[in-house]
Amino acid sequence: MKRCDDAPLPPARLLLGPGPSMVHPRVLHAMSVPLIGHLDPAFLTIMDEVQRRLRSLFRTANPLTIPISGTGSAGMEAALVNVIEHGDAVIVGINGVFGSRLAAMVERCGGRPIPIESPWGRIIEPDAIADALKRYAPVKAVAVVHAETSTGVHQPLEDIGRLCRHFDTLLIVDAVTSLAGLPLDVDGWNIDIAYSGTQKCLSCPPGLAPLTIGERALAAIRSRLTPCQSWYLDVSLIADYWVSSKRTYHHTAPISMIYALQEALRLVDEEGLDARYARHRTNSHALMAGLDALGFEPIAQEGARLTTLHCFAPPPGIDEAWGRKTLLQEYGIEIGAGLGPLQGRAWRIGLMGESSTRANVEALLGALEQMFLAQGWIQCAGAALDAAARIENVASK
């Protein structure tokens, strides 16, 4: 198709950074389907299907399970701004960028963040949450990041969920880099609010934030003394369009993005959640074996490493900025830089959704071996690919 001034298309990239991840052709196709109106009966049917599939993905029966019309950070803001009122104490686990962002947003909601910090690369210890819950009671909510995209840490949630019920506190979980890639059980783990983004393990373009809100959180919303400070993110208004049979217009839904999410959710259901988690796990293990053979050091503590996002320090003496640039320019592979204290010290490699394939792991390890060999940083190639090959490839993809 002719484009203006014969403008070139964007370059082809293999997206192995912290998101966006690769998008399945069926999802790309869904984005290009002609639009219908946001109040068209046919669109209401699509909304129902999206909500049903999102509930199954979050493993929840929450009726209020919807995509917020913004990116993952809009989901974070929606999760907080609806429940936090002026002066509310909120315990926030901070062990990376996204915990810090949660705390910043709690403050902007007029809340009082109580930071529970761990070094970058370590989990938030449930005992520290328990101590804070006792010390600062009553606490409105505990907010933690399930998959810390800045460090690759996999936060265990079940103990924290039990603690929150015991202390009658809401549990808010950032599932941006976990939903559809790692086991997540909103109802089973006593999570009251969880949010995510579409451009990670769902492999949909960025622009929507799946959000689920349970009955305990809804009760807190209903008993607010002041209206939610955001009109755009006020779920009591949004629910009248998405959940209630009234279908009252709130804002124009991002039609094409909803088409894409619908198709991405169908792909998830066709694969099956257990198979999808297993695929992410085996490809992650293959990548980690290869990186280990090349001398990379994981930032996340042992036993708490994500299988969706890998944060590794390159071997000493490697120019990390040169490495990322060369991967992008010579091989068309995008990976992510370190953030905050890890800037200049780490790479972030995502194997999320469609990006999590054995072929992509091999493409990246093969490129790294060639680059390192050409620079004289290794003496012969093959060790990383061999190490990856020793990890059994059980996944169907």
Q: Which structure tokens are listed for 148?
A: 């810390």
* Residue closer to its own copies, measured from CB, 69 or 118: 69
Q: Is the peptide bond before 138 cis (omega within 30 degrees of 0)?
A: yes
* Residue closer to its own copies, measured from CB, 136 or 232: 232
**Which residue from 19, 12, 3, 41 is spatially nearest to 350, judged by alpha carbons?**
19
Taking CB under 8 A as the rule, which mask of x and - marks residues 320-359 in contact with its own copies? Answer: --------x-----x----x--------------------
Please name the residues in contact with 319: beta carbons below 8 A apart, sequence gap of 6 or more: none
Calpha distance 121→257 (Å, rounded): 34
* Given 156, 162, 230, 382, the residue binding its own copies (CB under 8 A): 230
Nearest distance from residue 255's CB to its own copies, in Å? 6
Distance from the first to the final alpha carbon of the chain: 32
Tokens 């900025």 belong to residue? 321
* Residue closer to its own copies, measured from CB, 110 or 315: 110
**Positive or negative: CA dihedral 200, 203, 204, 210:** negative
Tokens 């086991």 belong to residue? 183
Which residue type does 3 have?
R
Q: Which structure tokens are listed for 334?
A: 């995008």
For the purposes of burial, counting CB atoms within 10 Å of the CB of 276, is it exposed (0-12), middle (13-18) or buried (19 or more)? buried
* Given 138, 183, 227, 272, the residue binding its own copies (CB under 8 A): 227
Nearest distance from residue 197's CB to its own copies, in Å? 7
Beta bridge partners of 48: none
- Within residues 54-83, the interface with its own copies by CB under 8 A covers 69-74, 76-77
Calpha distance 281→279 (Å, rounded): 5
Maximum distance among all Cα pairs of the chain, rounded to whole angstroms:
68
* Residue closer to its own copies, measured from CB, 32 or 223: 32
Nearest distance from residue 372's CB to its own copies, in Å? 23
* Residue closer to its own copies, measured from CB, 107 or 185: 107
Please name the residues in contact with 98: beta carbons below 8 A apart, sequence gap of 6 or more: 76, 145, 148, 149, 150, 174, 176
- Within residues 136-175, the interface with its own copies by CB under 8 A covers none
Which residue type does 60 have?
T
Nearest distance from residue 270's CB to its own copies, in Å? 6
- Within residues 99-138, the interface with its own copies by CB under 8 A covers 101, 104-105, 107-110
* Residue closer to its own copies, measured from CB, 6 or 302: 6
- Within residues 8-47, the interface with its own copies by CB under 8 A covers 9-13, 15, 17, 19-20, 22-23, 25-26, 28-38, 40, 42-43, 46
- Options 131-139, 247-255, 304-312, 359-367: segment touching its own copies (CB under 8 A): 247-255
* Residue closer to its own copies, measured from CB, 68 or 385: 68
* Residue closer to its own copies, measured from CB, 183 or 340: 340
Exposure letters 210-240 (e unless 16+ CB within 10 A, then b): bbbbbebbbebbeeeeeebebebbbbebbbe
Beta bridge partners of 94: 117
* Residue closer to its own copies, measured from CB, 109 or 139: 109
Total binding residues for its own copies by CB under 8 A?
79
* Given 7, 274, 316, 392, the residue binding its own copies (CB under 8 A): 7
- Within residues 249-278, the interface with its own copies by CB under 8 A covers 249-257, 259-260, 263, 266-267, 269-270
Interface with its own copies, residue 199, by CB under 8 A? yes
Nearest distance from residue 106's CB to its own copies, in Å? 10
Nearest distance from residue 250's CB to its own copies, in Å? 8
Nearest distance from residue 176's CB to its own copies, in Å? 9
Calpha distance 256→222 (Å, rounded): 32
